[in-house]
Structure 1
Amino acid sequence: MSFHPDDPAATTPGRHGPPPRGGDAGNPATEADARRRAGREPAHVTASGGRPAAGTSTEAFLLPSTECEPPRGGPAHDAARHGVSGQGSLFAAAPAAAEATTRDGGPEASGHTAPDVVRHATPATRSAATAPPATPPPAADPSAQGTATEPGSSPRTARSAHGVRVPEPLGEEDRRRLLEGRHHDPHALLGAHPGPGGVVLRTLRPCARSVTVVAEGLCAELHHEGDGLFAGLLPVAEIPSYALTVRYASGDAGGPDREVRVEDPYRFLPSLGALDLHLFSEGRHEELWRALGAHPMAHDGVTGTRFTVWAPNAQGVRLAGDFTHWDGAQYPMRSLGSSGVWELFVPGLGEGALYKFEITGPDGHRSLRADPMARRTECPPATASVVTASQHEWQDAAWMERRAGREWHASPLSVYEVHLPSWRPGLTYRELAEQLPAYVKDLGFTHVEFMPAAEHPFGGSWGYQVTGFYAPTARLGTPDDFRHLVDALHAAGIGVLMDWVAAHFPKDDWALARFDGTPLYEPADPARAEHPDWGTLEFDYGRREVRNFLVANALYWCEEFHIDGLRVDAVASMLYLDYSREDGRWSPNAHGGRENLDAVAFLQEMNATLYRRCPGVLTMAEESTAWDGVTRATHHDGLGFGFKWNMGWMHDSLVYMSKDPVHRRYHHDDMTFSMVYAYSENYVLPISHDEVVHGKQALVSKMPGDWWQRRANHRAYLGFMWGHPGKQLLFMGQEFAQGGEWSEADGPDWWLLDPAYEAEPDHRGVRDLVRDLNGRYAETPALWQRDTDPGGFSWIDGGARDDNVFAFLRYDAAGRPLAVVSHMSPVVRKDFRIGVPPTPEGTWTETLNTDAFDYGGSGLHNSGLLTPEPVAAHGHPVSLTLTLPPLATLWLRPG
């Protein structure tokens, strides 16, 4: 039986009928489910994991520089083999064709097609399988005499006119726009459509010698209209289920022609529904990565890949790839209404295919662009996007459940910052998974923070000039390899944070800049688009689709890769319209101010959405100004971040530590000023990569004095940092006092920890201190339980500038104290009195001393139980007298 769109019986999608018009657009729940399934359903792939082989891949025509070749890699799906139904046709369907062929071209009695449909035919003969049915020839037609030829092709035989007639030619304007890649609806011209006297079938097959349509009861060669267009008027009343057999000249002189059986991409309804388009146009598609980009999927029972891209100002978009020799002529895409989205479903194309979009801008300029939504890329310096689907099975359900219940403001949080390509140069994601979790766990850090892991073309940017926002860098492996690394860290009990760049993007002409020939992702106003410091472009946060692209990207990393938090880079450059701009070179907001109100709204939306959808996730802002409310909730008009990097503390404390101890008394306030504003935001204390490059020197090299004093300063500073209110972040290499600046090419100087190196004990001692700092920190609630509560801190003595001493108390939720005393002079101070509160234990114990022998210090300490004396000091009724080692920090607890 057959169906017609006006037939009431054709309203239920199934094997023998098309879906209702518009797909499931009228049913949001159905469409949402379909969208979720579509993004996860893998296409057929070969056993080797490479491109689909013959019988499963798309037709590929290869265009060498001088001549056309037959395809390499095999044809698309055999329609009969996969039970192709009318769901894929534009109007009606017929049962799967019983056409069958064998490798040698002979017919088979069965109704199934042989798996391998690549056939060879000599130039002078045609396979019996392509002989036309016993149909009287049509009336003579001048254009149907088979005289049209292409370079290298043989003349058409009279047989080519059997079974089909010459249809009305395309209008000159439609034909020109189609061939130039500027047609908004190529599906209206290509594929099968009802016409006067039958069904018009037209296909665009550049470099083909001939194209034959194969359907139930019909096998006939189409007429060549020139320029790779083949067409015929089929003598049928309704559109059948059909496939195409395409014949190419051999690439070898005198060799046989090659034939491939293909599905027609232009017989399918749109594979992206109205709900997806509506949500995106409104800027509210929170799972945008499931709608746009390249998705291996099954569409109307046929496996292939759906390609979608947003290019609203383009005259036309075509698909190019390694399967077309990077020529987009064969695959023009259709525009889906006013959404600006272009779409094409290519049957048989699967994982591993390389692709780009060939975009014709308003000025007629044509460029090949990487997919902004690509979930996998080629390894730089190559720039193509790669079709991919995840096969990873997560093993971290217990971690994700525990994370959802964590309140990170009142929990231990110490972060080890890592540049993945250089932590151990040469390691892949999977090799890192064997070493990094064990190392970080041994040192006691609760989290790692990856410097930007998204794809970037220039390694020297450290990942901060992103071109592939949805793809982990291919330098170290595949997206599933990256998932494996995250899984391994979670298995070790370590959270994973990631630097996320939403402030700017580079100007590479194959990426986002002027993507559709106009400013699209960037503002049209050059005063707002150009970032003067970095030579990059800023995002247009006021455009709904751009804001959606970024918000969905944040969700993507947390949902698809189980990232536990994002550190948002360069927030200050987003917030201020005059950031790094001279007077007269920036455009004010609608109220005449310098605040970027669109960026504020974007950051609020991003944070609110992320915290709503991803329980237990955290966000951090690298924000270097006094903007109010960075970590205040969005419903209280804040930006909504969980934490803010305390750039002021970092700068001031490093200035102090760089001074000779003789002069530190004059800079004492640099170490105490942070407590004036410590509770205005939720802070992280960062010693990041930015502080150990570009002539700033490594942390230990910033310190004054000889080698011993530098290490002692380094240790004392770390003890002060871990005792100070706020969470800690330390960049790789600083945990063992690397003396040289970090290089992205060389990574940390691991040889310093080689036992054969004479100074190895010095570096091992600092690393052992970091391990103990993290261990004591995790088991001491006073250091993290009230990090955001002013009642969790009080000075013992913040004014001992002549002694270079800082003494303070930290309190846990039950009021139990921990005393921190930092002595920043290279002398020993004996009988140094500090006031302490009375405690039930009645005694105190030195629980950490950065001057210990094990850490490379002098070994001076306060041993045993320390009993307070009834001598009032610093506002407390009792006090302790201590020996303060040179350049050291002490932690003391009751008991």
Structure 2
Amino acid sequence: MLDIIKKDPWLSPFRQRIEERRNHFLRKEQELTQNGKIGLSDFATGYLYFGLHKTDAGWVFREWAPNATEIYLIGTFNNWQREEAYRLTRVENGVWEIRIPLDSIRHLDLYKLFVCWEGGSGERIPAWCRRVVQDAQTHIFSAQVWEPDNPYVFRITDFKPDTSPLLIYECHVGMATAEEKVGTYNEFRENVLPRIREAGYNAIQLMAIQEHPYYGSFGYHVSNFFAPTSRCGTPDELRQLIDAAHEMGIAVIMDIVHSHAVKNECEGLARFDGTYDQYFPSDPTRRNHPLWDSFCFDYGKNEVVHFLLSNCKYWMEEYRFDGFRFDGVTSMLYYSHGLGESFTKYDDYYDGGQDSDAICYLTLANKLIHQVNPNAITIAEEVSGMPGLGLKIESGGFGFDYRMAMNIPDFWIKTIKERKDEEWSPAAIWWEMTNRRLDEKTISYVESHDQALVGDKTIIFRLIDSDMYWYMSKLMESSYRVDRGMALHKMIRLVTATTINGGYLNFMGNEFGHPEWIDFPREGNNWSHKYARRQWQLADDQNLKYHYLSDFDRAMIGLIKSVPDFQLTPVVKIWEKESDNVLAYMREKLLFVFNFNPIKSFSDYGMLVPEGEYGIVLNTDNPEFGGFGLNDDTVHHFTHRDPLYANEGKGWIRIYLPARSALVLKRL
């Protein structure tokens, strides 16, 4: 019996479905590896064969286009004309090839394919091209030759991510600048990476790396899967960024999009060879994503699996990414894309509406990634709660290292919007923070980029709203909303980050309460970058209160890192009282006490804890973090012996708990 069923007997009725899923993967792996004659990593090397390559003998270019009748290579080197010398030859299995003398093509030349098929033709950007640029005047995208005389050479070649725990700073390079423009890889490396190191995070998750024609898609409408976006700089500048992060001890995770592709025909994969079903399903209802206005991949086609697996290996080998956060996994798992589904019972996961080919691909991808780099990190963005997503493949799982705890940000938004402060429930908070499958690691977070997009609000803006514009200065009187918002902002982050069983994620700037929302340049805002940037100066200005939140976040991350393998330590509930709005729990020697009550402070609040002496190591109400300083953090607390619990080594600790504050005490 598979471990996934042993660990969760409620899965027993679905044993056949789970075993079928695993057998599907095993059969496909055998097929792709020629019954084990080659490794999965050897199979995923399409980027070394397809596309444009410079060799000692000349240039060689290959493309897969089974429906094409003629293909020409056109570009600045032949004045964009279809010439016989640049006509490709069909070789086998729908593959086209051309060999060109070395002096015919040069570094930075622009090029495309002119593809002909029965009844039509069109210009196409090669599917495997490694760089795509946009003309500043015409806005037309073209592939670009990237073969510099002195390519970047990595200095760090043996980096190993620190996952004890994994502390992720989610980033978008383009909007990481304070200026109203698109930021660059170099600016990020020079200005933002040092901030992340100082804040204590040990990983960054880079969004919008794969080229996408519309900047406002946040990088999720990918057109060119092997090309790092040229908006932010050159491929070598991205390599230099990743190398610098590794030098700082920071892992680099890529937000990879294999769940769908942009519909654009001139830039992307759509109708590449004149057909809709080259990379995508022939059935329009399966091909079209009804919510995202994009095309879904046909994961049952070996050529598509080859393309996507090669894409995973390419980013790891060519750029040294340390792993991937797979976007839109729920959409991949189900034919319904999870839309309108409740997922309230196990039957919902195994009712026949699952895309077995997509599930097989995800399992293959996880196996490949960990073959290429055993220390690689894979994270699933998945909302349905599909069992086994974060379990090892041999246990009957999908092989992801982590899954996103997507219930947590939804819980915080719902709580802030719908509950009065005095109704904040310690039981509900505890349940949401710790409600997870015990055998699967999760990434907990209060808010990612999703919660800050236009039409929504960041947590800090929900709490403080328009008072952020008037009362965040330390030089003027504060407001109740600012005091309340800052207090809850710290408490919400502390309870989320310190109940993790895997890792914690924060979107850049949210740690210091970056104001307002995210809105990319578009026609509706007159193509403004005002809300597509990060105002770092707010956190740097000691006359403003933002730095209090940033300082607290740094102290919180430092506390978590002070405990070896913090994420593996048991989370033991100590106290929970609804009428008081008080919650307490322990991890090793750390005692976390939260008073969510908006008006009541408690003197000598008692609870049973392991006997000993305790000192305050973190206090959300400390004036250093913008609090009122109602506790003396230098005072140590001693437990009082209770004969009833003496045999258990427990005693009563009595603490002063100011309203809307949290304390972390350490048993000395």
TM-score by length of 2: 0.83
Please state how far the C-alpha of 1:427 moved relative to its aligned partner.
3.5
1:413 pairs, out of 157, 166, 182, with 166
8 Å CA contact 2:640, 2:653 repeated in 1? yes
Partner residue in 1 for 2:29: none
Please state how far the C-alpha of 1:835 moved relative to its aligned partner.
1.4
Whole-angstrom CA distance in 2 between matches of 1:784 and 1:754: 31
8 Å CA contact 1:310, 1:342 repeated in 2? yes
Alignment of 1:877 with 2:655, yes or no, is no
1:710 pairs, out of 485, 495, 499, with 485
Partner residue in 2 for 1:844: 614
Taking structure 1 as reference, are residues 360 and 332 closer, same or farther at Cα in structure 2, changes over 3 Å only? Answer: same
8 Å CA contact 1:283, 1:547 repeated in 2? no
Whole-angstrom CA distance in 2 between matches of 1:283 and 1:593: 31
8 Å CA contact 1:782, 1:818 repeated in 2? no
2:380 pairs, out of 621, 630, 634, with 621
8 Å CA contact 1:352, 1:387 repeated in 2? yes
Amino acid at match of 1:753: A
Partner residue in 1 for 2:280: 522
Q: Secondary structure at the match of 2:663?
A: strand
Partner residue in 1 for 2:96: 342
Whole-angstrom CA distance in 2 between matches of 1:672 and 1:846: 26
8 Å CA contact 1:318, 1:328 repeated in 2? yes
Partner residue in 2 for 1:489: 245
Partner residue in 1 for 2:554: 771
Partner residue in 1 for 2:581: 804
Superposed, 1:582-621 pairs within 5 Å as 593-621=352-380
Larger mean CA deviation between 503-512 and 648-657 belongs to 648-657
Please state how far the C-alpha of 1:834 moved relative to its aligned partner.
1.9
Q: Secondary structure at the match of 1:384?
A: strand
Amino acid at match of 1:417: E
8 Å CA contact 2:242, 2:320 repeated in 1? yes
Aligned-residue sequence identity (percent) comes to: 29
1:864 pairs, out of 626, 630, 635, with 635
1:501 pairs, out of 257, 262, 277, with 257
Partner residue in 2 for 1:26: none
Partner residue in 2 for 1:165: none
Whole-angstrom CA distance in 2 between matches of 1:657 and 1:836: 31
8 Å CA contact 1:645, 1:684 repeated in 2? yes
Superposed, 1:275-674 pairs within 5 Å as 285-299=43-57, 304-330=58-84, 331-337=86-92, 339-347=93-101, 348=103, 349-361=105-117, 363-379=118-134, 381-389=139-147, 391-398=151-158, 400=159, 402-403=160-161, 408=163, 411-424=164-177, 425-510=181-266, 511-518=268-275, 519-579=277-337, 593-658=352-417, 661-665=420-424, 668-674=427-433
Larger mean CA deviation between 476-485 and 856-865 belongs to 856-865
Q: Secondary structure at the match of 2:541?
A: coil
Amino acid at match of 1:371: P
**1:732-766 residue CA offsets vs partner (Å, 9 max, x unmatched):** 1211112311234331233423538x5x1x10110
8 Å CA contact 1:295, 1:389 repeated in 2? no
Amino acid at match of 2:279: Y
Please state how far the C-alpha of 1:547 moved relative to its aligned partner.
0.7
**1:21-41 residue CA offsets vs partner (Å, 9 max, x unmatched):** xxxxxxxxxxxxxxxxxxxxx
Amino acid at match of 2:487: A
Whole-angstrom CA distance in 1 between matches of 2:353 and 2:491: 41
Partner residue in 2 for 1:734: 510
Q: Secondary structure at the match of 1:781?
A: coil
Q: Secondary structure at the match of 2:98?
A: strand
Q: Secondary structure at the match of 1:416?
A: strand
Partner residue in 2 for 1:699: 459
Whole-angstrom CA distance in 1 between matches of 2:355 and 2:482: 47
Amino acid at match of 1:769: F
Whole-angstrom CA distance in 1 between matches of 2:595 and 2:437: 21
8 Å CA contact 1:829, 1:884 repeated in 2? yes
1:794 pairs, out of 572, 583, 586, with 572
Whole-angstrom CA distance in 2 between matches of 1:736 and 1:674: 22
Please state how far the C-alpha of 1:655 moved relative to its aligned partner.
2.3
TM-score by length of 1: 0.62
8 Å CA contact 2:211, 2:227 repeated in 1? yes
Alignment of 1:722 with 2:497, yes or no, is yes
8 Å CA contact 1:378, 1:385 repeated in 2? yes
Q: Secondary structure at the match of 1:505?
A: coil
Please state how far the C-alpha of 1:677 moved relative to its aligned partner.
2.6
Higher alpha-carbon Rg: 1
**1:177-196 residue CA offsets vs partner (Å, 9 max, x unmatched):** xxxxxxxxxxxxxxxxxxxx
Whole-angstrom CA distance in 1 between matches of 2:418 and 2:491: 14
8 Å CA contact 2:41, 2:372 repeated in 1? no
Q: Secondary structure at the match of 2:43?
A: coil
Whole-angstrom CA distance in 2 between matches of 1:525 and 1:532: 13
**1:852-883 residue CA offsets vs partner (Å, 9 max, x unmatched):** 10110011224332111113689873121111
8 Å CA contact 2:41, 2:371 repeated in 1? no
Larger mean CA deviation between 599-608 and 492-501 belongs to 492-501
Whole-angstrom CA distance in 2 between matches of 1:388 and 1:664: 59
Taking structure 1 as reference, are residues 852 and 632 closer, same or farther at Cα in structure 2, changes over 3 Å only? Answer: same
8 Å CA contact 1:296, 1:305 repeated in 2? yes
Partner residue in 1 for 2:594: 822
**1:361-388 residue CA offsets vs partner (Å, 9 max, x unmatched):** 2x33111110111111113643111122
Q: Secondary structure at the match of 1:832?
A: strand
Taking structure 1 as reference, are residues 373 and 767 closer, same or farther at Cα in structure 2, changes over 3 Å only? Answer: same
**1:54-92 residue CA offsets vs partner (Å, 9 max, x unmatched):** xxxxxxxxxxxxxxxxxxxxxxxxxxxxxxxxxxxxxxx
Whole-angstrom CA distance in 2 between matches of 1:676 and 1:714: 21
Whole-angstrom CA distance in 1 between matches of 2:358 and 2:94: 23
Q: Per chain length, whose mean CA-contact separation is higher, i.e. which structure has more relative contact order (CA < 8 Å, sep 6+)? A: 2
Whole-angstrom CA distance in 2 between matches of 1:782 and 1:885: 31
8 Å CA contact 2:540, 2:547 repeated in 1? no
Q: Secondary structure at the match of 2:134?
A: coil
8 Å CA contact 1:354, 1:386 repeated in 2? yes
Whole-angstrom CA distance in 2 between matches of 1:491 and 1:667: 42
User: Which consecutive unaligned segments of at least 5 residues does structure 2 have?
Assistant: 1-32, 342-349, 465-479, 521-528
Amino acid at match of 2:124: R
Superposed, 1:204-219 pairs within 5 Å as none
Whole-angstrom CA distance in 1 between matches of 2:75 and 2:191: 37
Larger mean CA deviation between 435-444 and 872-881 belongs to 872-881
Superposed, 1:104-253 pairs within 5 Å as none
Please state how far the C-alpha of 1:783 moved relative to its aligned partner.
2.7
Partner residue in 2 for 1:255: none
Whole-angstrom CA distance in 2 between matches of 1:443 and 1:665: 29
8 Å CA contact 2:422, 2:597 repeated in 1? no
Whole-angstrom CA distance in 1 between matches of 2:549 and 2:619: 12
Please state how far the C-alpha of 1:659 moved relative to its aligned partner.
5.1
8 Å CA contact 1:450, 1:497 repeated in 2? yes
Whole-angstrom CA distance in 2 between matches of 1:457 and 1:673: 38
Amino acid at match of 2:321: I
Please state how far the C-alpha of 1:729 moved relative to its aligned partner.
0.5
